[in-house]
Amino acid sequence: MQILETLSLLANNLVGTIPPDLSRLMNLKELRLQNNKLSGEIKSYIGQLKKMEEFDVSMNSLEGSIPSEIGLCTNLQNFNLFANKMTGSIPKELFDCTNLVFLRLFNNHLNGTIPSQINKIPSLETCK
């Protein structure tokens, strides 16, 4: 039996929501769904993907807030959510992912301040 570690479906004209069945892929390390036509919210079940290192759903039409459960994905290194319709503030739990290197949230409708917990992540790259 093979274990799925990477699911890459970028630029496939996918429509609809991110299916909850993804939470059953417990060994998933990389989820790449960027540049599609996905809509709806990122649900809290995303926190069940504890081995995930890369989560890229950029350039879709996702909305709602970033679920605080993303902080349960402590192996997360690359979190790309740019060019969507996300609202609300950045959850402080996101910065429990202390292995983050890339965090791209631009071109959304986020508000509030950047949580001070961002200082806990020494590996986070800065834009130059």
- Does residue 65 contact residue 43 with C-beta atoms inside 8 Å? no
Q: What is the pLDDT of residue 127?
A: 59
pLDDT along the chain (128 residues), means of 10: 86 96 93 98 95 98 97 96 97 94 96 90 75
User: At CA 104, angle to CA 62 and CA 111, rounded to 5?
Assistant: 65
Q: What is the pLDDT of residue 15?
A: 97
Q: What is the pLDDT of residue 126?
A: 65
Q: Where are the domains of the chain?
A: 6-120
Q: What is the pLDDT of residue 120?
A: 84
Q: What is the pLDDT of residue 4?
A: 87
Tell me the pTM: 0.92
Q: How far apart are CA 10 and CA 56, in angstroms?
A: 9
Q: What is the pLDDT of residue 1?
A: 55
Name the CATH code of domain 6-120 (choices 3.80.10.10, 3.40.190.10, 3.30.300.30, 3.90.1170.50). 3.80.10.10
Q: What is the pLDDT of residue 117?
A: 87
